[in-house]
């Protein structure tokens, strides 16, 4: 029903064709069983407590490994991996273990894709958390405003996190801004369509005091990461993105 309300508003603007609105309504109907199954699980206090514990353990393992075996990693990548694990717990830790350590047996296209996706994810995730918390949790705005504000913050954070490294490599601000716009816009857009859509599907009507608000946010972030991975990998293949370098060559 919430998505229907949003789509009706968009339709009235005469910008989006009717057939696209119909597809959106069909998707909402198709995912209703998923929402029915997931909502009780994500609302469970025991599940919430276990998730917090898993995240804390995962971050502890990450930082133990960084301090003991991977201090050579640049500060930026330590920051990226910390946020990735904070957002996705054991899943984020597994991605780090597979693609982000200097001990990986050999680098590969798939590992480069995961590093690129994680870099995008760290900034976008922070922006999404700020946007959802502000627009839905604090201000209790309408769904349309929640979508626009959350996407805006996610894009801004993800975009800014990519300009910095480009400037450190010697590019001017203008060049870095242009390169980041071209290379990051597709992956940020796909990531946030998936993440924001998932979050609103599960928890659009709840406030910050609800466990579902936070668990749906955490779940949606990981969905965004998964959906954006093929996009990041594809951009590397096309040469639009270079992909993050081999951890053994960092530092």
Q: For residue 200, is pLDDT > 50? A: yes
Domain assignment of residue 128, given as a range: 44-101+108-244
**What value does the mean pLDDT of the chain take?**
88
C-alpha torsion 242→110→233→58, nearest 10: -100
pTM over 0.75: yes
42-51, 84-93, 123-132, 200-209, range with the lowest pLDDT: 200-209
- Give the pLDDT score at 39: 96
What is the distance between the alpha carbons of residues 28 and 22, in angstroms, rounded to a whole number?
10
Has residue 78 been placed in a domain? Answer: yes
Has residue 28 been placed in a domain? Answer: no
Q: For residue 7, is pLDDT > 70? A: no
The more confidently predicted of residues 188 and 2 is: 188
Has residue 198 been placed in a domain? Answer: yes
- Give the pLDDT score at 163: 85
Structurally, the chain folds into a number of domains equal to 1
| CB distance 85 to 59 below 8 Å | yes
In the block, residue with structure tokens 């609800």:
210
Question: pLDDT-based confidence at 251, cuts 50/70/90?
Answer: low
Has residue 201 been placed in a domain? Answer: yes
What is the distance between the alpha carbons of residues 218 and 199, in angstroms, rounded to a whole number?
9
Other C-beta atoms lying within 10 Å of the C-beta of residue 244: 24
DSSP 8-state secondary structure symbol assigned to residue 155: H
Has residue 250 been placed in a domain? Answer: no
Q: Within 13 Å of residue 83, how many CA atoms lie on the same side as its CB?
A: 24
Has residue 10 been placed in a domain? Answer: no
**pLDDT, tens only, 50-88:** 999 999 999 999 999 999 999 999 999 999 999 999 999
Percent with pLDDT over 90 in the chain: 66
Has residue 194 been placed in a domain? Answer: yes
| CB distance 187 to 160 below 8 Å | no
Query: Alpha carbon of 81 to those of 66, 97, 110, 126, 246: distances in Å?
Result: 10, 10, 17, 13, 15
Q: For residue 8, is pLDDT > 90? A: no
Please tell me the total number of residues recorded for the chain in this structure.
Answer: 251
Token digits for 37? 């199954």
- Give the pLDDT score at 18: 67
- Give the pLDDT score at 3: 47
Has residue 30 been placed in a domain? Answer: no
Residue ranges of the alpha helices (H) in 133-172?
143-168
């Amino acid at each position: 029903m919430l998505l229907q309300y949003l789509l009706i508003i968009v339709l009235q603007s005469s910008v989006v064709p009717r057939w696209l609105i119909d597809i959106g309504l069909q998707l909402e109907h198709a995912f209703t069983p998923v929402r029915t199954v997931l909502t009780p699980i994500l609302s469970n206090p025991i599940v919430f407590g276990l998730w917090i514990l898993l995240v804390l353990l995962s971050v502890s393992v990450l930082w133990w490994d960084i301090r003991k075996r991977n201090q050579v990693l640049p500060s930026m990548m330590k920051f990226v991996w910390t946020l990735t694990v904070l957002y996705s717990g054991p899943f984020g830790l597994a991605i780090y273990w597979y693609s982000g350590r200097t001990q990986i047996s050999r680098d590969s296209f798939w590992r480069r894709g995961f590093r690129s996706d994680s870099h995008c994810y760290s900034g976008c995730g922070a922006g999404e958390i700020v946007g959802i918390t502000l627009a839905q949790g604090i201000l209790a705005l309408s769904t349309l405003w929640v979508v626009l504000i959350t996407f805006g913050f996610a894009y801004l954070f993800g975009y800014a996190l990519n300009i910095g490294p480009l400037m450190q490599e010697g590019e001017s601000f203008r060049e870095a801004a242009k390169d980041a716009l071209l290379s990051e816009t597709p992956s940020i857009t796909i990531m946030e369509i998936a993440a924001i859509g998932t979050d609103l599907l599960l928890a659009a009507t709840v406030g910050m005091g609800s466990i579902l608000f936070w668990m749906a946010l955490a779940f949606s972030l990981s969905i965004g990461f998964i959906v954006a991975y093929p996009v990041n990998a594809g951009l590397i293949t096309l040469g639009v993105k270079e992909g993050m370098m081999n951890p053994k060559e960092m530092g």
